[in-house]
Amino acid sequence: LVKAVKRERPENIEEIVPEQSEVGEHQSNGAIERAIQTHNGQLKTMKIGLEQRYGGTIEKEHNIWPWVVMYAAMLYNICHVQEDGRTAWEKKKGRKFKKLVPEIGECIFYLKPESVKEKEEAMWSKGVCAGIREESTEICVMTPEGTNKARSYAGLPEDQRWSRKFLEIVKG
């Protein structure tokens, strides 16, 4: 899994150094083991939901899976209320996360950023939601040409939100 994330998003990972815990010191790993357990549970839920939406298994090599891993962590940070009544997002940013976001893997229309707009092209384009950028809260969008980021998006009609054919041609 780490290799897949590094392959798809190498700019976000400088170096991963595995650590070995001391023999017999399971309690020293308690918090991290619980965090891994929570993240794995979130991943499993998102995988089941995504495959159910698309009506079958999505190949493990599909380029959406590294995005699902990152999005699972992001959702936990913006949604899980801790003992002090605040989320990790609130602690870091000083405010609640209020943006309405599409479901991971959902087909959407997104407003093309200025850098990819061309006068003869439409301003809106179709893509697949791949998550949220923590730095800016922009939506990450997979398209047949590659990945874009967008500030604005619009949902498609229900019968077009989960197009298996479109999911198979997007890159990211």
172 vs 163: CA distance, rounded Å:
17
Q: Is pLDDT larger for residue 23 or for residue 47?
A: 47
129 vs 139: CA distance, rounded Å:
7
The answer to whether the beta carbons of residues 49 and 72 sit under 8 Å apart is no
Q: Which segments within the chain are labelled E, that is strand?
A: 107-111, 124-132, 139-143, 146-150, 153-155
Residue type, 60: K
76-94, pLDDT tens digit by residue? 999 999 999 999 999 999 9
Question: What is the pLDDT, as a whole number, of residue 122?
Answer: 67
The answer to whether the beta carbons of residues 42 and 69 sit under 8 Å apart is no
Q: Tell me which DSSP letter residue 105 carries.
A: T
Taking residue 170's Cβ as centre, other Cβ atoms within 10 Å add up to: 22
Share of the chain above pLDDT 70, in %: 78
Place of tokens 């041609």: 169
Q: What is the pTM of this model?
A: 0.78
3-class SS at 46?
Answer: helix
The answer to whether the beta carbons of residues 58 and 51 sit under 8 Å apart is yes
CA angle, residues 112, 78, 138, in degrees to nearest 5 = 10
**Whose CA is closest to 149, among 167, 130, 168, 162?**
130
Instruction: Reply yes or no on whether the pLDDT at 14 is more than 80.
Output: no
Q: Tell me the CB-side half-sphere exposure of residue 50, using CA atoms within 13 A.
A: 28
Sheet holding 139-143, edge to edge: 146-150, 139-143, 124-132, 107-111, 153-155
Question: What is the pLDDT, as a whole number, of residue 92?
Answer: 93
Instruction: Reply yes or no on whether the pLDDT at 12 is more than 60.
Output: no
| Bridge partners (DSSP) listed for residue 58 | none
136-155, pLDDT tens digit by residue? 999 999 999 999 999 999 99
Using 50, 70 and 90 to split pLDDT, how confident is the model at 112?
Answer: confident
Instruction: Reply yes or no on whether the pLDDT at 36 is more than 90.
Output: no
Question: What is the pLDDT, as a whole number, of residue 115?
Answer: 54
